[in-house]
Amino acid sequence: MRKSAARLLTLATLSMVLATAPVITKVYANGDDNPSPPASESKKGKKKSEASPSQEYAKFAEGYRAAYSTVYDRQDYAGAIDQLKALGHDDNAAVANLIGYSYRKLGDYKLSQVWYERALKADPNHVKTWQYYGLWQVEQGNRDQALYHLNKIAQLAGKDSEEYRSLAAALEQPPGTGLVY
């Protein structure tokens, strides 16, 4: 009797794990291309949205992808900042990082730093922010800080990651070359 009860318990546990696996996979599959918005969306004084969470996420993801394209395809950094802030999720690490990147590309290093730090506060393991903030450090001549960022990327994503290779290549350049990444 005990063996059959143990087997039944094991089977039930395995079934629960398998049943929740797609949800877990979906949560962790979201990267910088499709960041997840914060859980609470309600605004005071407004009627709660009739849209389902998946519809809200789809709208957010569409807006983020449009801003992402504005940054990387059109290099319209000021326009992208407006688009990203309009999403209403600038406390999301991917959003804050992209705002920081845009400010850096516009040459506003102080605001860029603020946004990179905001992104890391939201997610201390956001590899893309460590990369971009590390490139910011290189541009500022802070090579020791950039090396710290490089080591953090190695811990989080490994030395074979694109983020690690990008920052390592920037650090290989002679100091003071004035290169902007």
Q: Which of 72, 129, 126 is nearest to 97 (CA)?
A: 129
pLDDT in tens, 79-107: 999 999 999 998 999 999 999 999 999 99
Burial class (CB within 10 angstroms; exposed 0-12, middle 13-18, buried 19+) of 61: middle
Contact 83, 66 (CB under 8 A): yes
pLDDT in tens, 53-86: 888 889 999 999 999 999 999 999 999 999 999 9
pTM: 0.74
Contact 89, 119 (CB under 8 A): no
Domain boundaries, the chain: 53-108, 125-181
Instruction: In whole angstroms, give the CA distance from residue 119 to residue 92.
Output: 7
